[in-house]
A and B are shown apart, each in its own frame.
Chain A
């Protein structure tokens, strides 16, 4: 299932850092209510780190103690990041909804790879990140991923702030 297009276009480290540092609101499409699923881990983590998390899932009414919306179109207010945990085939439709609500970034998790979805979002003026985990990227640049021996790929002699 090697994608036919160049994913690196949607994995630029500077873009990822800008999105993580500027976003305040994250709508998580496909957020599960099962605490053992990856999406729940990510939603929990983002909330813990100060983002306003908005669950989007038509089968639930409340997840993580937060009101859950059936579709992106139902979410009130501005959404900085649409974070997608759905099958790749669902991406074009989600991208169209993200464009319609004027979201800032379409962020597709690991393996959520769909070229058409990326093109729709880009044409609609959104930043696109694809096949990257928002929790891992946050932990790489802001958080504590290095505390567990993971390769953050970061090299810097700048003294960081307290975390």
Chain B
């Protein structure tokens, strides 16, 4: 018998989802590197495939190592469950694919990761789903964008890379007034800094590739469901009605709270196939064990570097929402009291050429297209991650021609600032010479 206790976050990030292996007693999470599972007998096999019993059938659909990661993330986000995917983008596609049908409409924040902008813009159009971009800071814009066929609202807790902080509770209220779910990408905050479900979000998405894994080793994503949304409200026959892909099963009626996740796993993951590998799940679990420790250091370093940049002559428009003068101050106090993440941008004086000079000047920060590594990372979005966006979309995403995006790692902050000084010295030298290196 287990007493009921509300365990702390730091305990749950180490333990949730795993109990010592009953067969071997292994304390670490075993890596179940197997495609498939031997059935006890024909009746058991039938029960698993009919979803009448929780059973393992095939690792494209479920895997015991991946399941530990799923449960741990669901636990940390205060959700009812989760389904992991091969990437954050796959998780997002699957989350939307499960609840949308052709002719539906989505309202989304325009201040998003460039990969998500591409996905929403092009993939939804291919699915004949309409899309309206809104300025996430403008609640009236969210309301004004609603149409009778609006079936989902989408935003990021902390926008990439503009640092917009989403008013989750207010946008969730707008979505719920229209009997639609709010999906929130919580990648930049992680559940340590913010838990969107606590503020009314219905579905939380992560690129686990970032701070969850935390060491830049593995690509992965996850969908966490609050279990609170009423999919039987008449607007989501795709989930509530008998499923032709599952012999007439009505996922929401039969599984209730767990209906959306069952459909996400048993149909969408089964049919799209972007499953997380057990080895990646193992690495993400290793990452989660130190999430709170790393995030505390990430935000401490990020705050130090943001204030250094804010006072530097060659830097402007530092988008770190944790700065004292940030226009998101009240939202930060409400949603992100432990810190505002470690990814933000600034504009290097001198525009595109200066931005590129700055990157040439640094030697400790790694020039690459990722965020959320223990190592500090740097990139020029206009020529890389946001390259497919036109000027208008760039502006909407908060990206200028000289914008530099930083992902602050957990190194010695003095060393990181020393290296940024090298970058600015390079910019100043080029400006003084009146030439720009090519």
Contacts and interface: CB of A to CB of B under 8 A. Distances in A.
B434 interface: no
B250 interface: yes
Interface string A42-63: 0011001000000000000000
B22 A160 contact: yes
Contacts of A136: 258
B203 interface: no
Contacts of A150: 71, 74, 80-81, 258, 261
A149 B254 contact: no
A17 B83 contact: no
Contacts of A160: 19-20, 22
Contacts of B16: 151, 155
Contacts of B25: 159
Contact of A147 (B11, B15, B56, B250): B56
Interface in B61-87: 62, 64, 66-68, 70-71, 74-75, 79-84
Contacts of B2: 13-14, 17, 141, 154, 156
A110 B256 contact: yes
Contacts, number: 120
B97 to A, nearest CB: 18
B71 A151 contact: yes
Interface residues of B, number: 53
Contacts of A139: 54
Most buried by A among B21, B68, B81, B261: B81
Nearest to B69: A149
B140 interface: no
A114 B47 CA distance: 33
B62 A41 contact: no
Interface in A17-67: 17-18, 21, 36-38, 41, 44-45, 48
B1 A17 contact: yes
A1 to B, nearest CB: 11
Interface string B1-31: 1111101000110011101111101000000
A139 B81 CA distance: 14
Interface string A119-163: 000000000000001001001010111111111111111111111
Nearest to B257: A110
B7 A149 contact: no
B52 interface: yes
21 contacts: A17-B1, A44-B52, A48-B47, A48-B53, A147-B64, A147-B67, A148-B54, A148-B261, A149-B62, A149-B66, A149-B71, A149-B265, A150-B71, A150-B80, A151-B75, A151-B81, A151-B82, A159-B22, A161-B22, A162-B23, A163-B22
Interface of B: 1-5, 7, 11-12, 15-17, 19-23, 25, 47, 51-56, 62, 64, 66-68, 70-71, 74-75, 79-84, 242, 247-250, 253-258, 261-262, 265
